[in-house]
Amino acid sequence: MKQRLFEARELASAAIAGAVPDGGRVAEAMGYACAGGKGLRALLVVESARLYGVEAEAGPVAGAIESLHAYSLVHDDLPCMDDDDLRRGQPTVHRKWDEATAVLAGDALQSLAFQLIAGANLPAEARIALVQSLAEAAGVAGMVGGQAADIAAETAETPLTLPEIEALQAGKTGALITWSALAGPRMAGAQSAALRHYGDAIGRAFQIFDDILDVEGSAETVGKAVGKDAARGKATFVSLLGLEPARKRAAELVEGAIAALEPYGPSAETLREVARFVIARRS
């Protein structure tokens, strides 16, 4: 899986680099924001495309999701949002440059995602399906809505319940992960309930494990500030379930994700490894 992860990350990086013009603070900040990530979403795109025989055309789509994910992190780190100084072990974009550059770089990365899909070597119907579904996953019904709910929860009079946290995280974190898992069938003009189940499950497991890392990890290994949720008195999977029950729940979700891949047989082995990686990572 490590080799596949590296290849997917390189594929996405090449697509992004090929579409970003040289020179200027904003372009430089865009490249900086995209560097150093795990490439997990890109790998999901590539591997789901492999299942449908369209992996040769996956580069721009993998670049699109990594570009959009990078935009979300740049904006999430801003003082008006989570106010973070560290991302992926490096100064956040607004710390390295300034807030205006960070806002503009994030805006440009968001639009770049749709530019890359629009220019992909795919049938028009597939490109439209990818653009429409990505807009939905990234917007108020998905990631943005989840982020808004997360911000509101920090000043709410009562902590969120577990179902409310699950709904919040399904948007904030899960929507883009599920979209990545479904990119392959959408590229091929197909549908897959199995990959939707898989994406939903690993998206939920990913966020639970993020909450675990916020308790157990360090800034050096995680690459960003930790312990912030507890300091803010924020309800998380860990605070509501406890550390070990949260870990058990994440493992159960991974088992369910792996079981959902049964229709694809040995061809989905890398996706099974991705599911296991979600709750074994250090960052």
Per-residue pLDDT of the chain (283 residues; tens, 9 = 90+): 889 999 999 999 999 999 998 889 999 999 999 999 999 999 999 999 999 999 999 999 999 999 999 999 999 999 999 999 999 889 999 999 999 999 999 999 999 999 999 999 999 999 999 999 999 999 999 999 999 998 888 888 888 899 999 999 999 999 999 999 999 999 999 999 999 999 999 999 999 999 999 888 666 666 666 666 666 667 789 988 999 999 999 999 999 999 999 999 999 999 999 999 999 988 7
∠ CA 66-13-188 to the nearest 5 degrees? 65
Question: Using CA atoms in the order 174, 141, 154, 70, what is the torsion angle rounded to 10 degrees?
Answer: 60
- 146: tokens are 């989840």
Domain boundaries, given as residue ranges, for the chain:
2-278
Q: What is the pLDDT of residue 219?
A: 66
Rounded to whole angstroms, how far apart are CA atoms 215 and 230?
A: 8
| Helix (DSSP H) and strand (DSSP E) numbers for the chain | 16, 2
Alpha-helical (H) ranges within 160-242 are: 162-169, 175-187, 193-216, 219-222, 228-231, 237-241
pTM for the whole structure? 0.94
CATH code of domain 2-278: 1.10.600.10
Sign, CA torsion 59/49/70/273:
negative
